[in-house]
Amino acid sequence: MIISIVITFLAFKFNINFYVDLTMLSIAIIFPLVFTIRGSFRRREKALQHLSKFRSALKTVQYFVMSNKELSEESKNEMTDILINISEQTLDQLKNNDNTTKDLDEIIDKVLTFIVSNEQIISKNLKDRTFRFMKDLHESIENLHAINTHRTPISLKAYCLVFIYIFPLIYAPTIIHDVGLEHNQGITYFIVILTEFILISLYNIQDQLEFPFDDIGLDDINLDAFRLNR
């Protein structure tokens, strides 16, 4: 915004005005900006799907274990604690933007350890069902980790940001040329500032959608709604 005001002021002071076809600038800025916003929104929607599948798999495995009459209450509580730890660790990792999954992998491996240690009690049918839903759990976690780690290409975001900053250098003299020096300068300031405000706002929206797990943006995902014990 400051750059827009300064550039417009200097253009008036030194009588700089020329005509440039703004269609080229629209293609250079608006198109990639809209593309990145759409990509970020799609990743957010995918994250919601994977989070729903994640909690569903955890809850189903918990039902399988709790319905097994052969397991003791102590064993059931042990498995429930493991599933809760998986839920908490996964969601905290997303919220803190942690790219390391070593601790989470170790917690998930405890499910296998539990089943192996109780294989005399757990039936083959129950074991197969548990592993099937653990596969869904693994798939959801890996997809969430991929969404959290691999976002909009940095080069494309940098390209958009650079063009937004240099946009007033071309736009302000063009608006002065179109409006004319004989008209109120406030009109030119208003058009340039409003346009730059729209562009930087769209960029900020994309930047917030880029990371929907940190509870900062208005459109961020409420991770607490996907905890096992919500």
Instruction: Read off the pLDDT of each residue in 75-91 and give the average, rounded to a whole number.
Output: 94
CA distance 223 to 144: 12
Position 153 scores a pLDDT of 82
Which of 44-53, 100-109, 143-152, 165-174 holds the top average pLDDT? 44-53
- What 8-state DSSP symbol labels residue 70? T
Q: Residue 58 pLDDT more than 80?
A: yes
The pLDDT of 190-214, averaged and rounded, is 89
| pLDDT on residue 86 | 96
> Could you tell me the pTM of the whole model?
0.83
Residue 25 has pLDDT above 80, yes or no: no
Nearest residue to 140 (alpha-carbon basis) of 87, 208, 96? 87
Report whether pLDDT(217) > 80. no
pLDDT confidence of residue 62: 93
At residue 103, does pLDDT exceed 80? Answer: yes
CA angle, residues 53, 227, 63, in degrees to nearest 5: 65
Residue with tokens 């500032």: 193
Residue 192 has pLDDT above 80, yes or no: yes
Mean pLDDT of 167-184: 87
What residue type is assigned to position 132 of the chain? R
Q: How large is the average pLDDT for residues 19-37?
A: 83
Please state the separation of Cα 23 from the chain's center in Å.
30
Cα gap 73→115, rounded to integer Å: 15
Give me the residue spans of the domains in the chain. 2-40+153-210, 45-151
Average pLDDT over residues 42-56: 94
For residue 226, the 8-state DSSP code is: G
Mean pLDDT, to the nearest integer, of 194-217? 87
| Residue/partner pairs of 35-42 with CB below 8 Å, 24 or more apart | 35/156, 36/152, 36/156, 36/157, 36/160, 36/206, 37/202, 37/205, 37/206, 37/209, 39/152, 40/151, 40/152, 40/206, 40/209, 40/210, 41/209
Of 173 and 154, the structure prediction assigns the larger pLDDT to 173
